[in-house]
Amino acid sequence: MRLLGEVLWWGLFAYMWLIVCRVLISWLPVRWPRRLRPLAVLVYDLTEPVLSALRKILPAVPVSGKVALDASPLVAICMIALLQWIVSLLFK
């Protein structure tokens, strides 16, 4: 059982870092080199199902005129941290 808990915890940890990478990728106004584009697309494809589900519940917060803040990555990271805590308690 402990091994299952470790696998779940590290899987959640990896997914949390995928969300962090997605946020960083979205902030960088660069044209991705051809060999790095598949990696950026993979990060988006892996994180989009969770983030789009959260966006349906949490709309973007308008900051000014045409600018809005998407809080879904922050909420997802908080939820993952909570799940990691629950996993660590259940599989001690």
Over residues 15-31, the pLDDT tens digits come to 999 999 999 988 887 77
CA 2 from centroid of its chain's CA atoms: 25
User: Which tokens sit at 86?
Assistant: 């629950």
Q: What is the pLDDT of residues 62-72, one digit of tens each?
A: 888 888 889 99
What's the mean pLDDT when you consider all of the chain? 92
- The pTM of the full predicted model, rounded to 2 decimals, is 0.87
With DSSP H G I counted as helix, E B as strand and the rest as coil, what are the percentages for the chain, rounded to 5? 70, 10, 20
